[in-house]
Amino acid sequence: MIILIPAYEPDQQLLRLIHSIHTAAPQLTIVVVDDGSGPDYQPVFDGATGLGCTVIGYAGNRGKGHALKAGFGFIADRFPGRDVVCADSDGQHRVEDILRVAEQLPAAPDAMVLGTRNFSSNVPARSKLGNTATRWLFRLATGEHLSDTQTGLRGYPAAMLAWLRGVPGERYEYELNLLLEAKQAGYQIRTVGIATVYLDHNSGSHFRPLADSVRIYAPLLKFLASSLAAFVIDTAAFLVLNAVTDSVLFAVVGARGISSAANFLVNRHLVFRHGRERQATRTGARYFALVLTLLAANLALMSALDQLAVAAVPAKLLVEAALLAVSYCVQQRFLFAREQPAADRTPDLAASHAGALNPTHIPAMVPAQFPHSLSGNRGHQSTHRFRSLP
Q: What is the pLDDT of residues 39-55, one digit of tens each?
A: 999 999 999 999 999 99
- Is 212's pLDDT higher than 60? no
- Looking at residue 366, its pLDDT comes to 36
Give, in order, the Cα–Cα distances in Å from 270 to each of 43, 174, 208, 266: 44, 18, 25, 5
Do 374 and 78 meet the contact criterion of CB atoms below 8 Å apart?
Answer: yes
Q: Which residue has the higher pLDDT, 48 or 320?
A: 48
Closest CA to 191 of 95, 270, 113: 113
Determine if residue 278 is left, alpha or beta; phi over 0 gives left, psi from -120 to 50 gives alpha, anything else beta.
Answer: beta
What is the tens place of the pLDDT at every residue in 254-298? 888 898 899 999 888 888 777 787 788 888 899 999 989 988 888
Q: How far apart are alpha carbons 132 and 15 in whole angstroms?
A: 31
What is the tens place of the pLDDT at every residue in 105-154? 988 788 999 998 875 556 555 556 666 766 676 776 667 777 788 888 99
Least confident piece of the model among 18-32, 117-131, 208-222, 376-390: 376-390
Any idea of the CA torsion for 314, 320, 326, 331, to the nearest 10 degrees?
A: -160
Half-sphere exposure of 196 (CA within 13 A, CB side): 16
DSSP conformational letter for 107: G
Question: Whole-structure pTM over 0.75, yes or no?
Answer: no
**What's the whole-number mean pLDDT along residues 337-355?**
47
Q: How far apart are alpha carbons 357 and 164 in whole angstroms?
A: 9
Do 65 and 390 meet the contact criterion of CB atoms below 8 Å apart?
Answer: no
Q: How far apart are alpha carbons 185 and 204 in whole angstroms?
A: 33
